[in-house]
Amino acid sequence: MFSSKVIKPLLLIPAFMMVGTGPAPAQEVLLGQPTVAGDPDEPITIAPTDGYSAVGFDDGIDSTSLEAPSVEAAGLAGAGALGLDDAMWGTTTGSRAIELIDAAVPTRLYTVNRLVRRVLVAGVTPPEKSEGLLAARARALTRFGAAEEAASLAGAAGRDPGIDLQRARAEAALIVGRDETLCEKDVLGADPPEGEQGDTFWPSLRAYCLARSGDPLAAVAVNAMVELGGVEPTDAPLLEALVDESLIDYVPVPHASMLTPLRIAMLRSLGRANRPAIESAPLPMIAGLFALESTGADGALVAAERLEAVGAIDTAVLREMYVSFADEVDGPLGTRAKAVKDADDKPDATAMGNALIASARSGGPGGFAQLARVLAPAAAQVPVSEAATLGAVGYALRDAMLLGGFVRQAGAWSDAQGTKTIAEQADIAAVMAVADPERAGAWQRGYGDTLRQRTRNGDEHARRALASLAGFRIALRPNLPDEGFLRAAREGRAAEAVLWSAAEIGKETPPTARTLDTLIRALQDIGLSDEARSIAIETMITERWR
């Protein structure tokens, strides 16, 4: 039997998704995983993954003290370290803040998701009457695939959290593998909350903790709970297998759509998983499935792709996993991994460009944009002298550089490529003017006329380009009503503006020009111009490659 007691908690840094199929000691060295656990009584406070902002995370992070006046103010990093303001909630009410956080879900835009998560992990002064805000933030992080961060954030409440926060903390702990501490301290060591009428979570959790305890008398208690209907019917056979090892091979893995934090924990204890579950499971459950001993290199990479696509892990983690497991996976997944490994060994413009174009055609969790972010550092190393001879491949490489943040290299590459038509000149001038403020002065009215003519023929790409230019005051700028998240931004309700605008742009596939323009203006009003620029570039580029 694969006992959960011998499973180490998931990595104590957000790069935990780099765990693979190699020996555990080798994985720990590769990932920087601590080999000695800290005090299991205390929550583990971590910094979010690299790349949240230009400020980044380093040894100077100002973590929020757990002695903060309000537990709702707790965070994984201080607002200043995240490029935010301690007063980012402004006059937003507590109920409105919780409403926005509860509605936050991952969008198709990586840069939007990363910005939302910065708001969720920041330690800041909370709105008035915001009881339950910390629980809402923890739940939202779990929805974004960041259960480790959710568990640490929820742990900031100390030893006397409200029932909602207890539930959020317990679910996050189950996903990331902190079962032992959860069971011994919060469930078997004390009476767990009763929960709402008809809610079987806490009874089922108690049954699970009893089953995994190894106590022979626990089997009697678990069987009695199952017979009395105190646990979900789907959980019953899993619990029975935990107390009777002979049943393990007969227990079916629940369908991916039915996975819950508790079922993830039970599957981990039983050593059961499969790749299809990782491909189709709800995003919050991915971290738990990934930690299972039966997850191979292919499942690990699928999980990492899904999490990187929504900004839950840094792109550098996915890049290193591609390189490490390239020889162990096949099919389209293997093709992507080998392309990254080859580029890591020796950047080749044609090979990388072809891989990017192929990714646009075949898709994948993050499509063109994801592989572009991964290959961007290698693409930026290709000599500019090759740009003029590559055609579409060259455009793919330029866009990869832009998506990866290599704006100067992308500009030099674009200059070397040259243009043949007025339409091409307008397209390239628009992209580069938005990406690089120093190139905004090169924008010409004739380029705008060209784009506007295309919008009359229904070209939405041209419409989004004009909207981005308008947002940054480069091209004609229509007046927009002082309402919605734009007004929230102008009134200093920065967190509300971020969450509200993310929700609106997430409803649109692809984003409309008006929403994009409004979002850019709102983010600039709250001091997030660089983030607005990144979102505009991602929108302009990725929609052309879908």
Confidence of residue 196 (pLDDT cuts 50, 70, 90): low
Angle between helices 460-471 and 445-456 (to 10 degrees): 140
CB contact at 8 A, 474 and 484: no
Q: Which of 40-44, 153-157, 356-360, 490-494 has the lowest mean pLDDT?
A: 40-44
Confidence of residue 248 (pLDDT cuts 50, 70, 90): confident
pLDDT at 402: 97
Peptide bond between residue 510 and the one before it cis (omega within 30 degrees of 0): yes
CB contact at 8 A, 448 and 466: yes
Confidence of residue 54 (pLDDT cuts 50, 70, 90): very low
Higher pLDDT, 431 or 213: 431
- Quick one: tokens of 377? 């550092």
Those residues whose C-beta lies under 8 Å from the C-beta of residue 69, and which sit 6 or more positions away, are none
For the chain, counts of helices (H) and of strands (E): 27, 2
Beta bridge partners of 78: 123
DSSP 180-219: HHIIIIIISSSPPP--STT--HHHHHHHHHHHHT--HHHH
Mean pLDDT of 303-328: 94
Separation of alpha carbons 152 and 173, rounded Å: 9
**Has residue 75 got a pLDDT over 50?**
yes
DSSP 49-89: PTTSSSS---TT--PPPTT-SSGGG--SEETGGGT--TTTT
- Quick one: tokens of 437? 């403020």
Mean pLDDT of 341-367: 90
Region of residue 484 (phi > 0: left; psi between -120 and 50: alpha; otherwise: beta):
left
pLDDT at 157: 67
pLDDT at 40: 35
Angle between helices 133-143 and 110-121 (to 10 degrees): 150
Beta bridge partners of 77: 122
Confidence of residue 414 (pLDDT cuts 50, 70, 90): very high
Nearest 5°: CA angle at 47, between 92 and 303?
100
Separation of alpha carbons 32 and 12, rounded Å: 9
Higher pLDDT, 256 or 123: 123
Choose among 411, 413, 346: nearest CA to 386. Answer: 413
Whole-angstrom CA distances from 378 to 346, 417, 420 are 8, 18, 27
**Has residue 81 got a pLDDT over 60?**
yes
Enumerate the domain spans of the chain: 7-192+275-295, 313-418, 425-546
pLDDT at 60: 39
**Has residue 241 got a pLDDT over 50?**
yes
Choose among 528, 513, 512, 524: nearest CA to 486. Answer: 524
Mean pLDDT of 496-522: 96
Q: Which of 2-16, 48-62, 169-183, 480-494 has the lowest mean pLDDT?
A: 2-16
pLDDT at 50: 45
Q: Which of 57-61, 167-171, 391-395 has the lowest mean pLDDT?
A: 57-61
Confidence of residue 252 (pLDDT cuts 50, 70, 90): confident
Choose among 253, 282, 257: nearest CA to 268. Answer: 253
Percent of the chain's residues with pLDDT above 90? 55
DSSP 417-438: H--SSHHHHHHHHHHHHHH-GG
Mean pLDDT of 66-91: 84
Higher pLDDT, 81 or 15: 81
pLDDT at 218: 72
Tell me whether residue 69 is exposed, middle or buried, using C-beta atoms within 10 angstroms of its C-beta: 0 to 12, 13 to 18, 19 or more: exposed
Higher pLDDT, 388 or 112: 112
- Quick one: tokens of 430? 């628009």
Confidence of residue 6 (pLDDT cuts 50, 70, 90): very low
**Has residue 416 got a pLDDT over 60?**
yes
Separation of alpha carbons 409 and 496, rounded Å: 35
CB contact at 8 A, 54 and 337: no
3 state SS of 333 = helix
Most confident among 92-96, 284-288, 416-420 (mean pLDDT) = 92-96
Mean pLDDT of 437-452: 93
Those residues whose C-beta lies under 8 Å from the C-beta of residue 297, and which sit 6 or more positions away, are 20, 21, 325, 328, 329
Confidence of residue 342 (pLDDT cuts 50, 70, 90): very high
Those residues whose C-beta lies under 8 Å from the C-beta of residue 456, and which sit 6 or more positions away, are none
Beta bridge partners of 123: 78
Choose among 283, 231, 288: nearest CA to 257. Answer: 283
pLDDT at 127: 94
Q: Which amino acid is at 466?
A: L
Higher pLDDT, 197 or 235: 235
pLDDT at 256: 81
Q: Which of 5-14, 101-110, 432-441 has the lowest mean pLDDT?
A: 5-14
Separation of alpha carbons 189 and 319, rounded Å: 42
Mean pLDDT of 520-541: 97
pLDDT at 291: 61
Average pLDDT score, the chain:
83
Tell me how crowded residue 369 is: count the other CB atoms within 10 A of its CB: 26
For 369, half-sphere exposure in the C-beta direction (CA atoms, 13 angstrom radius) is 24
